């Protein structure tokens, strides 16, 4: 734990009627850092965000923001802004009025309100849409209005709860870039909840992967991809996920070990490979082709080939790989080795 982090959560726990929400959440967030809370549905990531926002009160632990203990403070006292997946726009107000609403409530002078609003609309690509109502905007434009509202709030900490989940794939990619650029330009600290590992891996400086109310691993996207601490992280992070092989299938490994291998680290062997597999799937993605493979002692075996490749479903192939590229997990699923 750092003594001078911008945001610190120390051993936070939250339960409802005895049911675990989150437990032992300990996390440091530096000023200007983009942190993604990642995990499957029900893992506790939104609960963690709500605790940080002041929308829930922890049963134990401490929350410090910018040097101030805010554990029992209300959301309004925490000097942060929020962006939700539902946009939370006023339907009867125009774009300009939605963006300026918070400043009007805080009695910011009109001249300053207008200047901040126009600056935020320029930054979010909404200039010229000031007079439109939310019903006349696309999903991507509505989310940009919510971003503009967070910008004018002028808060150093911004919390985002799955803000892109209502957008189609193309818009998600575009708004993802917008958010990352705005974060860098404004020097904002962002805590971003998502179940989409592509969002987390492409946007975040730090990823916090959660499962069943606990943090499984915290680190850079590269750390979670290259050195997963356990088999859950190995299978959750990466597209395709890491393949897991029973130790019995490979010479030199123990029966109670699980061996992980990434798709790009495997290659086809004309003969004498380390594993004989059956082709189950062939997915061409333009620059590469992913070949799905079946083996009685492995889950999620996929090999990545450059360019276009075609293999008949049901055909037999042999694959090989280097020991230095293997991830070794023990009986409990915890990592046992370092990748050099």
Residues 6+ apart with CB under 8 A from 157: 6, 7, 65, 66, 78, 79, 80, 81, 188, 189, 190, 191
Q: Output the six-digit token pair for 331.
A: 């009986």
Residue 171 parent element (H or E): helix 169-186
Q: Output the six-digit token pair for 47.
A: 């609960």
Give the pLDDT of residue 310.
86
Pick 7-231's CATH classification: 3.40.50.1820, 3.40.718.10, 3.90.1150.10, 3.40.50.300: 3.40.50.300
CB distance 66 to 80 below 8 Å: no
Determine the 3-state secondary structure of 255 from DSSP: coil
Query: Measured between alpha carbons, how far is 189 from 191 in angstroms, rounded to an integer?
Result: 7
Determine the 3-state secondary structure of 162 from DSSP: coil
Query: Rounded to the nearest 5°, which phi and psi values hold at 309?
Result: -140, 145
Query: Measured between alpha carbons, how far is 180 from 160 in angstroms, rounded to an integer?
Result: 12
Give the pLDDT of residue 190.
95
Could you please report the per-residue DSSP string of 82-122? EEETT----TTS-HHHHHHHHHHHTT--HHHHHHHHHHHHH
Query: Rounded to the nearest 5°, which phi and psi values hold at 310?
Result: -130, 130
Q: Output the six-digit token pair for 22.
A: 């989150």
Task: Flag residues of the chain having pLDDT under 50.
Answer: 2
- Select from 215, 212, 256, 217 the least CA-distant residue to 233: 217
Where do the CATH 3.40.50.300 domains begin and end in the chain?
A: 7-231
CATH superfamily of 239-329: Nucleic acid-binding proteins (2.40.50.140)
The pTM of the whole model exceeds 0.85:
yes
For tokens 């401490």, the residue is 62
Q: Is 75 exposed, middle or buried (0-12, 13-18, 19+ CB in 10 A)?
A: middle
Where do the CATH 2.40.50.140 domains begin and end in the chain?
A: 239-329
């Amino acid at each position: 734990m750092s003594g001078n982090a911008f945001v610190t959560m120390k051993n936070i726990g939250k339960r409802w009627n005895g049911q675990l929400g989150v437990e032992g959440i300990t996390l440091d967030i530096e000023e200007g850092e983009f942190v993604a809370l990642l995990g499957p549905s029900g893992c506790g990531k939104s609960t963690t965000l709500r605790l940080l926002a002041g929308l829930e009160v922890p049963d134990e632990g401490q929350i410090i923001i910018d040097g101030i203990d805010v554990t029992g403070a209300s959301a309004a006292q925490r000097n942060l802004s929020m962006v939700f997946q539902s946009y939370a726009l006023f339907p009867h107000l125009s774009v300009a009025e939605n963006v300026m609403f918070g400043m009007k409530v805080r009695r910011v002078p009109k001249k300053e309100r207008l200047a901040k609003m126009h600056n935020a609309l320029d930054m979010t690509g909404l200039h010229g849409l000031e007079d439109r109502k939310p019903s006349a905007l696309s999903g991507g434009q509505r989310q940009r209005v919510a971003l503009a509202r967070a910008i004018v709030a002028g808060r150093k900490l911004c919390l985002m709860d799955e803000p892109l989940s209502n957008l189609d794939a193309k818009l998600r990619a575009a708004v993802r870039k917008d958010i990352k650029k705005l974060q860098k330009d404004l020097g904002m600290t962002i805590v971003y909840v998502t179940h989409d590992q592509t969002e987390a891996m492409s946007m975040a400086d730090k990823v916090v992967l959660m499962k069943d109310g606990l943090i499984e691993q915290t680190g850079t996207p590269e750390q979670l991809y290259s050195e997963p601490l356990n088999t859950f992280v190995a299978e959750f992070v990466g597209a395709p996920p890491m393949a897991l092989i029973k130790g019995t299938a490979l010479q030199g490994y123990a029966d109670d070990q699980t061996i992980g291998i990434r798709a790009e680290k495997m290659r086809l062997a004309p003969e004498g490979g380390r594993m004989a597999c059956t082709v189950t799937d062939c997915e061409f993605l333009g620059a590469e082709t992913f070949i799905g493979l079946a083996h009685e002692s492995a889950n999620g075996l996929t090999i990545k080939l450059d360019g276009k490749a075609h293999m008949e479903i049901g055909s037999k192939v042999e694959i090989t790989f280097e020991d230095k590229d293997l991830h070794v997990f023990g009986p409990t699923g915890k990592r046992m080795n370092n990748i050099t």
